[in-house]
Amino acid sequence: MLGKGSISHNSRKFKAANVDSERTSQNITYYNEPIKDVYHKLFDEALDRYNAKQKRADRRIDNYYEKIRTGKQEKLFYEVILQIGNNENMSAISGEGQLAAKVLNAYMEDFQKRNPNLYIFSAHLHMDEATPHLHIDFVPFTTGSKRGLDTRVSLKKALADQGFAGGARGETEWNQWVHSEKEQLSQAMEHHGIEWEQLGTHDEHLSVMNYKKEERAKEIKQLANDISAIQKKKLNIKSVQQIDVKNVPLSTKVMLSREDFVRLSTAAKKYIAQEKNEGTLKKLLKAAERTIAELKSKVMALTQELNKYRSIREQLDVGTLKQKNKDLLQNNDFYKSIIMQHGLGHLLRKNKDVVNKDDTIN
């Protein structure tokens, strides 16, 4: 359910190779607001109040957006991705896929109402990929805070304000909220006659993480191909400089071989074409390089997130083994008490002596 977020991909400013442009018109845009505008809207007044209280200039915050972006405690925004089925049973071009889109649309209708502390600034239903899926990007915020800005970014506090207070190990505010939202999606599915087979395993989250990682990897590969194509269009100046030019006797003219003439003529034509498109190509190249850097960092973050989930799974496995061991010890004590109650303790001691003797022999 958790995604890393790529606004340019979600809004289709950048189109990856797996996007079918002929179906892009079927996509639905629910929200598409610049995130910096959202930060001004949510936090500017709180920022002014905070700065007014500061007696030391070095404690004032000039730009809250940049503070969060460069900090390590909170993220600028969070993204959730919801998908029903896969391309085998819910293909976007099939009737089942159209039904899945209706379910996701119904789920999205009340999302903001259910989550008043998650400010949605980008939300898109994609119908131009293999399977219909919904991207929701939001900024979590809390009000009435006594530390820092009175209105500030905080996923934990935002969810707590909505009633998800967290609990025992593994029952975090986020996990409780995810479970609640899955129930909302399940109800929307049931309303449209779709039964949700809930596996109830941690693999559900891992599969979503892997899906996003694969999608970003595809985008990076496509960008690399685009850049390679652009670079091939550039004029090879060195080949032109290597042309052997000879003077024509008793003339100001020069002569060159037919092969060099063809090469020079071709280069000149390419140069003219390149001059016309150079501005566009430079912009495209810079945009591609920025997007590649962004996506590479996102893939790295996804990998770190995946490793975190693996660590959690290992911790859960260790906890299960400890519980089983505890149960076995309790059962052992119970059976010992039964034996003692029936006056058979001497047999238990005799058996223990035999075991110890065997251990000594070995």
Chain segment 219-265, per-residue pLDDT in tens: 667 777 766 666 665 555 555 555 555 554 544 555 556 676 667 66
Q: Do 179 and 252 share a domain, yes or no?
A: no
pLDDT of residue 203: 44
Q: Do 236 and 185 share a domain, yes or no?
A: no
Chain segment 182-198, per-residue pLDDT in tens: 999 999 999 988 877 65
Q: Do 132 and 99 share a domain, yes or no?
A: yes
pLDDT of residue 8: 47
Q: Do 70 and 158 share a domain, yes or no?
A: yes
Q: Do 56 and 130 share a domain, yes or no?
A: yes
**Would you state the structure tokens that stand for residue 80, as one six-digit string?**
């959730």
| Long-range CB pairs of 224-231, under 8 A, 24+ apart, other chains included | 224/292, 225/17, 226/284, 226/288, 227/285, 227/288, 227/289, 227/292, 230/281, 230/284, 230/285, 230/288
Q: Do 151 and 21 share a domain, yes or no?
A: yes
Q: How far is CA 88 from CA 22, 53, 215, 246, in A?
A: 21, 59, 17, 67
pLDDT of residue 211: 54
Rounded to whole angstroms, how far apart are CA atoms 172 and 158? Answer: 13
Average pLDDT over residues 46-57: 94
pLDDT of residue 195: 79
pLDDT of residue 317: 61
Residue with tokens 């941690």: 202
Q: Which of 61-75, 122-136, 312-326 has the lowest mean pLDDT?
A: 312-326
Query: Which one-letter DSSP state was computed for residue 248?
Result: P
> How many domains is the chain built from?
2
- Best CA proximity match to 131, nearest among 177, 85, 167, 163: 85
Q: Do 164 and 291 share a domain, yes or no?
A: no
Decide if pLDDT at 285 tops 80.
Answer: no
Q: Which of 106-110, 215-219, 246-250 has the lowest mean pLDDT?
A: 246-250
- Best CA proximity match to 255, nearest among 264, 266, 246: 246
Q: Do 261 and 322 share a domain, yes or no?
A: yes
CA atoms within 13 A on the CB side of 190: 8
Q: Do 50 and 61 share a domain, yes or no?
A: yes
Q: Do 220 and 345 share a domain, yes or no?
A: yes
Residues spanned by the domain of 312:
199-362
Q: Do 266 and 340 share a domain, yes or no?
A: yes
Last residue of a domain, one of 159, 174, 198: 198
Per-residue confidence at 91, pLDDT binned at 50, 70, 90?
confident
Chain segment 337-351, per-residue pLDDT in tens: 766 776 666 665 655
Last residue of a domain, one of 181, 198, 215: 198
CATH code of 44's domain: 3.30.930
pLDDT of residue 120: 97
Decide if pLDDT at 56 tops 80.
Answer: yes
Residue length of the chain: 362
Q: Do 286 and 318 share a domain, yes or no?
A: yes
Judging by DSSP bridges, how do beta strands 78-83 and 2-3 pair with one another?
antiparallel
Average pLDDT over residues 19-44: 91
Last residue of a domain, one of 198, 213, 235: 198
